[in-house]
Structure 1
Amino acid sequence: MSQRVLVAGVGMAPFVPLSARDSAASLAGRAIRSVLEDARIDFDLVDQVFCSCVHNEAGSAEQVLAQIGLTGIPIFSISDGCVSASSAFQLARNSVLSGEVECALALGFERMPVGISNRAFFGLDEMSVQDWGSADYASRPTAFLERRQHPAALFAAQTSWLLTRMAIAESSFERVISHARAQARCNPFAVTNRSSDRDDWLAPYLCPPACGAAAVLLCTPAFIARYGARGGIAVLASVRSSDTACEQESANVLDVLGRAATRRVAQQAYERAGLGADEIEVVELHDQSVGDFMVCSAALGLCEEDQIDTFVHERRNARGAQIAVCPSGGLLGRGHAPGATGLAQIAELVWQLRGTAPAGQLNGARTALQHSAALGRSVSVTILQRT
């Protein structure tokens, strides 16, 4: 069993709007070629491939890999909603960690179906008219699962809760959005640099859906030494969890969207990495909404919930040290391509730790955290460190 997993290389294709004509193969091919070039190895050294994609047909992984070369290695295809890319990463890591392989590729790509709209992406075209507050609805065990079929309604409820129940200032919402857009303007991979089309509906507190691709190559230290691959970044921890019944019984929209699960997973990740939240210097969290940015910042331990307003404006942790949260622009700025987003976050963090980030470079950063969530049903946290 390997005692350590290293990131040998990362690659990404720019995120593009839903209306773009880029094919899944072209997006994925660009990410694959860039990750191999970054790692300085050939594809025939890869032992396994874990592909994530939400909106493509069976066999799409083989189709995109054919342009690099089908070598007969195992290819695993994953469709797991917004955490698909993180699922691919964690499975690839576990394969290397177990000693089954020395080098595994995690590839995520997304090409939305032609004609899909922002409204459809967020479930607004099938908006539920159910009264979520009714006693009958709230008492049913599957009620919280049904809520997740209508994410736009959930995010609207999240925003209302933060404004009215937690007294978060409206200026804090505006600050998160303006910061995300400013960071994205410096990021050559951000969808917001390629389209001003918000479908005449997309609420300002929601991230823009996108198409795109990203890839991460994981390997053992022995592989690095043998083939001269890049290395330099270690995966200290990668933890995942799902709902618990008690967290959902309160019917609190913040927990339906993953607040409680994020707290649990983050704590487990910190323990496995041997670190505290105040030692994290740069974060890419799953800010599918402005509310997600606020709630998850607190749930990850970057601040207390009653300090969200201050944290949004100052971005300082409990020790008073500056922390970069979503320097890439995050989902709110770079865009959200479900099959690729988790791996895109990892790529952005690796660039940060190397000192080569295309946007929002934090000088001297050594430890980073990536967070993914699928409307609360699954949450993952990965901690990386420059060796």
Structure 2
Amino acid sequence: MQPVIVAGVGMIPFAKPGASAPYPQMGASAARLALEDAAVDHAWIEQAYAGYVYGDSTCGQRALYEVGMSGVPVLNVNNNCSTGSSALFLARQAIASGAADCVLALGFEQMKPGALGTQFDDRPSPFERFDALADELVGEPQIPLAIRYFGGAGLAHMKQYGTQLSTFAKIRAKASRHAANNPLALFRKVVDEDEVMASPAIWPGVMTRLMACPPTCGAAAAVLCSEGFARRHGLRSDVRIRAQAMTTDTPATFESRDMRELVGYGMTRRAAQSVYTAAGIGPQDVDVVELHDCFAQNELITYEGLGLCAEGEAERFVCDGDNTYGGRVVTNPSGGLLSKGHPLGATGLAQCTELVHQLRGSAGERQVDGARLALQHNLGLGGACVVTLYERC
């Protein structure tokens, strides 16, 4: 397996539904930015992987045809909220295996306002088993699907470890402080813990509105290549993917009867451990993390899943400031999904974009000093989890 270089990244500013360009224009813009950043001509791309959740078949071609029609394979990817990093996973495999030397991974989403829901009501839902267990464990069937799942997971942590609702508010406030320095983020207004707590309750005692990420439109992309390709074409090769793992659900997702397992805690833990083992490092060696904070509750749970702190210690991790600048590891310097926004298909590649800039030292006011190892975590219910470790060469 040959090393994989991240030669270029690109991302457009995220926007509220109805305020963005249509998905073909968003996707094409992000792809062009990544190609320009990599100094790669479109004709050099041998394969493309296009990720999106809400759209008809071959939307990837529709977006990429705006950039150029070179006749190369374009594969469309849908893995719920982990779609962008699933496209990245496939692109990395193509390079690492020697099947291709230069590949584009693209993610985009044109979303509608409101909570996420299923689109096809004339066939079995992929969430049937998830819904049935959530009904047993937390009830509240009137609450939208994602809020019930992740709110229930946060509630499980609160019940087992005494975690306070205010701790989730601290996480959201931290996200806003980070996003204030990100011109591509949807929400750049700084909010404090009290404002988060005072926002409308979407599940009383469990979650307020500001603890949930907003529906968002946007696009991001990355150009991956082999070391030999980078050398032959004089491309930058200062960031590479050192290790990557994708996991899906195991029987424990349902058999454990734990809402945290239902939302992917086990997938996260197994993917992270696989990456640490492959790279020969531990979580203590990571300098900066972009993780899947679709809800503040999931960010807290993910600290433990990634091994950034011990199980049951996430509240102390937050209260001690170990999740931000000056602490143990800077988490979501971009502002994360909570402030940057969450266009489902683009999220994984937006995380990639942020971490590549962190390792290049080009993140501006968000820069994590001396960042050498960067970890990405992207999760999709139903389910899939991708954890990627990037290294500054």
TM-score (norm 1): 0.88
Query: What amino acid sits opposite 1:364 in the alignment?
Result: G
Residues in 1 aligned to 2:266 and 2:246: alpha-carbon distance in whole angstroms: 13
Is residue 310 from structure 1 mapped to residue 316 from structure 2 by the alignment?
Answer: yes
Q: Residue 364 in 1 paired to residue 360 in 2?
A: no
Q: Which amino acid aligns with 1:24?
A: Y
Shift in CA distance, 147/166, structure 1 to aligned 2, threshold 3 Å: farther
Indicate the residue corresponding to 2:169 in structure 1: 174
Counterpart residue type for residue 172 of structure 2:
I
Counterparts in 2 of 1:105-120, with a 5 A limit? 105-112=104-111, 116-120=112-116
Report the CA distance between 1:274 and its aligned residue: 1.2
1:238 aligns with 2:233: no
Matched, 1:84 2:79: no
1:169 Cα deviation after fit: 2.3
Please say if 1:185 is aligned against 2:184.
no
2:160 matched to which residue of 1? Answer: 165
**For the Cα contact (< 8 Å) 1:232–1:386, is it kept in 2?**
yes
Equivalent residue letter for 1:13: I
Return the alpha-carbon distance in structure 2 between the equivalents of residues 147 and 182 of structure 1.
33
Q: Describe how 1:1-387 pairs up with structure 2 within 5 A.
A: 2-112=1-111, 116-121=112-117, 132=133, 150-193=145-188, 203-316=209-322, 322-358=328-364, 360-375=366-381, 377-387=383-393
Give the Å deviation of 1:177: 0.7
The 8 Å contact of residues 284 and 370 in structure 1, kept in 2 or not, is answered as: yes
SS at match of 2:315: helix
Mapped partners of 2:38, 2:149: distance in 1:
40
SS in 2 for 1:82: coil
Counterpart CA distance in 2 for 1:315 and 1:78 is 37
- Partner letter of residue 304 of structure 1? A
Q: Could you tell me how far apart the structure 2 residues matched to 1:64 and 1:168 are? A: 44
Tell me, yes or no, if the aligned pair for 2:238 and 2:392 is still in contact at 8 Å: yes
Query: 1 CA distance for matches of 2:321 and 2:201?
Result: 32
- State the one-letter code of the partner of 1:363: D
In structure 1, how many angstroms separate the alpha carbons of the residues matched to 2:27 and 2:103?
16
| Distance of 2:134 and 2:213 partners within structure 1 | 26
Would the aligned equivalents of 1:373 and 1:380 in 2 still touch at CA under 8 Å? yes
User: What displacement does 1:28 show?
Assistant: 1.2
The verdict on how the C-alpha distance between 1:77 and 1:133 changes in structure 2, with shifts beyond 3 A counting, is closer
Q: What SS does structure 2 have at the residue aligned with 1:119?
A: coil
Unaligned runs of 5+ in 1: 139-145
Shift of 1:213: 0.4
* Distance in 1, Cα, partners of 2:283 & 2:49: 30
- Change over 3 Å in CA distance of 1:199–1:90 after alignment to 2: farther
Q: 1:246 to 1:11 in 2, by over 3 A?
A: same
Structure 1 residue 204: Cα displacement: 2.2
Residues 35-88 of structure 1 show CA distances to partners (whole Å, capped at 9, x for unaligned) of 111101111111110000111222322221122210111111112211111110
Shift of 1:330: 0.6
| Alpha-carbon distance between aligned partners in 2 of 1:221 and 1:209, rounded to the nearest angstrom | 37
Question: TM-score normalised to the size of structure 2?
Answer: 0.87
Cα distance in 2, alignment partners of residues 153 and 96 from structure 1: 39
CA distance in 1, matches of 2:134, 2:99: 49
Show structure 2 runs of 5+ residues with no match. Answer: 120-124, 192-198, 203-207
In structure 2, how many angstroms separate the alpha carbons of the residues matched to 1:162 and 1:96?
A: 40
Task: Summarize deviations over 1:154-204 as a string: whole Å, max 9, x none.
Answer: 12212322333321123311210111112112211111149x9x9996822
Whichever residue aligns with residue 307 of structure 2, its letter is G
The CA distance in 2 between the partners of 1:69 and 1:77, in whole Å, is 17
